[in-house]
Amino acid sequence: MGIWGKGLGRPRSRLGKYLDDNEIPQKSMEEKTGINKDTMSKLCNKKDYSPNEKTKQKVIKVLKEKDKKADINTFW
């Protein structure tokens, strides 16, 4: 959890909410996926952000390590 804590009125995308609910830090996702901080921030905070397929696959690959049901359609 970041310095702001979970929730606290900040806008979050479906991915951002999923990470919060499952206590997965954005920093951890950045490191495991190789996605840079700016892009990960967009993925987690901008509801209308649509990443390219390669980025989506990187995210899902990491999420499936913990949740076999993780699916691209859940987030985008």
Q: For every residue of 39-65, which 3-state class applies, written as one string?
A: HHHHHHHCCCCCCCHHHHHHHHHHHCC
Could you tell me the mean pLDDT of each successive run of 10 residues in the chain, 76 residues long? 55 97 97 98 96 98 96 94
Question: What digits encode the pLDDT tens for the residues 42-62?
Answer: 999 999 999 999 999 999 999
The rounded Cα 42 to chain-centroid distance in angstroms is: 9
Number of Cβ within a 10 Å radius of residue 33: 19
Distance CA 68, CA 8 (A): 29
Which structure tokens are listed for 74? 């859940």
Domain boundaries, the chain: 14-68
pTM confidence score: 0.83
